[in-house]
Chain A
Amino acid sequence: MWTIFRKELADHFSSSRFLIMLCLIAMVTLIITYMAGINLREELSGGSKPGSAFLMLFTTSGRFFSLSQFITFFGPLLGIIMGFDAINGERSKGTLPKLLSQPIYRDAIINGKFLAGVAVIAILFTSLILLIAGLGLLTVGAIPGINEVARLIIYLLVSIAYVAFWLGLSIVFSILFRSVATSALAGVALWIFLAFFTGFCSSLIADAVAPVDNQKNTQQVIANREVKHKISLISPVNLYTDATSTLLNPYRKTSKSFALLGPMERISMNRFQNPLPLGQSLLVVVPYLTTLLSLTVICFGAAYICFLRQEIRST
């Protein structure tokens, strides 16, 4: 398995696909951090710095959107891009029968590829956060406290798990579909659905289950929101948004939110209006994280089952 891991890692780092992603991410990150930094400096210039000025780098939106929103949005694409041709790419190159006739277990191939992808994500995100931290020090002069560092590390882990889920999903598609283009498309379609339409669907269902006939009836409104929130958590995108906003925003100061994910943000904002200590935030995050991880495990189970039964033929 480690042989496959090493080869896939080398492949990722030398592929032009990865280079393009890297440039894009680096560019966006730099711009956003810079703008967020400038914004923050202005906002903070009056009074004394709040305790979590550093974290605000991630959640303050400049002209477009904040960094955490960028990762929410872009992470799935990253996972899909790294995994969509994992197996059917080998198939179309004609290297799959060869791989399978070597003395290795079939699941070692999936594991090796998945772990290589996760390693790339981990390296990418870690360096990203270090980069931002450096920029933050320069532009805002905010020095992160232990609490903030801890939150960031957890944020990093949750983000890696989030992208790993999408990677796992796209590997499943690469097993299911013989054509590379189809599996890429399937991944993107599911991503769009989960990112944009679950919010819509969950309001529909919520309205049906817990109708609000009078906006002034707070009980009804709350019930409606509860249902909507629960349903929207089917989507890993919302899981992740919820988890990270709790992590990064103990004070919940931002008001601008990414239009498409807006409702979720607002709901969680209402909920966490008071600053939460790290331990409390963790308690909130852990269920989200476990859900995310179990979704990944489900993907993997599906991948194993499909792949082990699949007919291997070069023609």
Chain B
Amino acid sequence: MSAVIHTQGLEKTYAGKKVVLELDLEVRQGEIFGFLGPNGAGKTTTILMLLGLTEPSNGTVRVLDMDPARNPLEVKRQVGYLPENMGFYPDLTARQNLRYVAELNGIYGNEADRRIHDTLNQVGLEDAGDRHVQGFSRGMQQRLGIAELLLKDPGLIILDEPTLGLDPDGIRGMIELIRQLRDERGLSVLLSSHLLHQVQQICDRVGILNEGTMVACGSMNELINQKTAEGARLESLEDIYMHYFHSAPAARRL
């Protein structure tokens, strides 16, 4: 398996404050990677650097074997990004929103129609296509956001807090959708979240970030079965989380 995302010693400094520190991240072809950590850990910052939306202060980034700082357009062509709090043009219908994104990706006419139809079906919004986005629930908006990513037929999707603000049903639906996309389309997925239990079921591997540092990284099995210094077993991701954050003094303000 080859890596679709690979960073080495990645750092970001905002006004003298290090927000991301010495980050070595690897996401492999076809896996769902959970990028976890509390609010303010630096997840969004890292993701912005992966997409070339912000310059790294230090270190290297390879995404699909490209350097996003050097070749941002090609990276953006092949990587779908769902920002935190994705927004839409409220006066346009779902279909019109999708069409705009398709055209920005150089997809026009019948090809665009076909893709819009397919992606709406895939995310389960086939009946809402001609409604104005104004009236969409949060869950529908997140789905529409996913549909927008799929338009460009990406090899890798990066989802920043895809489950944020959804009700339990919405969360389950979103998780199911992500799993489906991976299974059916063979997508590689990087998804960030600060709520571990919501995503732990679908992640092949996870990385836990705290204050810009990766405190743990590995497959779910590796992490769950390791023993702590005191000899206690870590049963779930929740335990792992507690373990790392309560041993790290900085995390107490959580």
Q: Taking beta carbons and an 8 Å cutoff, which residues of A are in contact with B? A: 3-4, 7, 11, 14, 93-95, 97-105, 311-315
CA distance A99 to B79 in the complex (A): 13
Q: Are B90 and A101 in contact (CB under 8 A)?
A: no
Q: For the complex, is B84 an interface residue (Cβ under 8 Å from A)?
A: yes
CB distance from A111 to the nearest CB of B (A): 14
Give the A-B pair count, Cβ closer than 8 A. Answer: 66
Q: Are A99 and B104 in contact (CB under 8 A)?
A: yes
CA distance A136 to B244 in the complex (A): 81
Q: A100 to chain B: which residues have CB within 8 Å?
A: 53
Known: A93-B87, A94-B85, A103-B74. A313 touches B100 (CB 8 A): no
Which are the 9 A-B pairs with shortest beta-carbon distances? Answer: A94-B87, A97-B83, A103-B77, A102-B104, A3-B103, A101-B81, A314-B85, A103-B76, A93-B87
Q: Are A314 and B90 in contact (CB under 8 A)?
A: no
Q: A315 to chain B: which residues have CB within 8 Å?
A: 44, 84-85
CB distance from B157 to the nearest CB of A (A): 11
CA distance A202 to B213 in the complex (A): 59
Q: B152 to chain A: which residues have CB within 8 Å?
A: 103
Known: A312-B48, A314-B85. A98 touches B53 (CB 8 A): no
Name 30 A/B residue pairs within 8 A (Cβ), A-sorted. A3-B103, A7-B100, A93-B88, A93-B89, A94-B86, A94-B87, A95-B88, A97-B86, A98-B81, A98-B83, A98-B86, A98-B101, A99-B104, A100-B53, A101-B53, A101-B76, A101-B79, A101-B81, A101-B83, A102-B105, A103-B73, A103-B76, A103-B104, A104-B104, A314-B84, A314-B85, A314-B87, A315-B44, A315-B84, A315-B85
Q: Mark B69-98, 1 if CB is under 8 A from A, else 0.
A: 000011011010101111111110000000
Q: Name the residue of chain A whose CB is nearest to the CB of B74.
A: A103
CA distance A312 to B79 in the complex (A): 17
Q: For the complex, is B148 an interface residue (Cβ under 8 Å from A)?
A: yes
Extra A-B contacts (12), CB below 8 Å, given A95-B87, A103-B106:
A3-B100, A4-B104, A14-B91, A93-B88, A98-B86, A101-B51, A103-B73, A103-B74, A103-B152, A105-B73, A311-B54, A315-B85
Count of chain B residues near A, Cβ 8 A: 28
Q: Name the residue of chain B whose CB is nearest to the CB of A95.
A: B87
Instruction: Identify the interface centre among A103, A105, A314: most chain B CB within 10 Å of its CB.
Output: A103
Q: Name the residue of chain B whose CB is nearest to the CB of A102.
A: B104
Q: Name the residue of chain B whose CB is nearest to the CB of A15.
A: B91
Q: Name the residue of chain B whose CB is nearest to the CB of A6.
A: B103
CA distance A98 to B74 in the complex (A): 16
CB distance from A279 to the nearest CB of B (A): 46
Instruction: Identify the interface centre among A14, A101, A104, A315: most chain B CB within 10 Å of its CB.
Output: A101
Q: Name the residue of chain A whose CB is nearest to the CB of B83.
A: A97
Q: Name the residue of chain A whose CB is nearest to the CB of B158.
A: A101
Q: B84 to chain A: which residues have CB within 8 Å?
A: 314-315
Q: B77 to chain A: which residues have CB within 8 Å?
A: 103
Q: Name the residue of chain A whose CB is nearest to the CB of B53.
A: A312
Q: B54 to chain A: which residues have CB within 8 Å?
A: 311-312
CA distance A311 to B85 in the complex (A): 16
CA distance A100 to B100 in the complex (A): 13
CB distance from A204 to the nearest CB of B (A): 41
CA distance A94 to B148 in the complex (A): 14
CB distance from A206 to the nearest CB of B (A): 45
CB distance from B176 to the nearest CB of A (A): 24
Q: Are B74 and A95 in contact (CB under 8 A)?
A: no
CA distance A103 to B148 in the complex (A): 13
CB distance from B237 to the nearest CB of A (A): 25
Q: Are B90 and A93 in contact (CB under 8 A)?
A: yes
Q: A314 to chain B: which residues have CB within 8 Å?
A: 83-87
Q: A98 to chain B: which residues have CB within 8 Å?
A: 81, 83, 86-87, 101, 148
Q: A312 to chain B: which residues have CB within 8 Å?
A: 48, 53-54
Known: A3-B100, A98-B148, A312-B48. A103 touches B86 (CB 8 A): no
CB distance from B101 to the nearest CB of A (A): 7
CB distance from B160 to the nearest CB of A (A): 9
CA distance A7 to B101 in the complex (A): 11
Q: Name the residue of chain B whose CB is nearest to the CB of A314.
A: B85
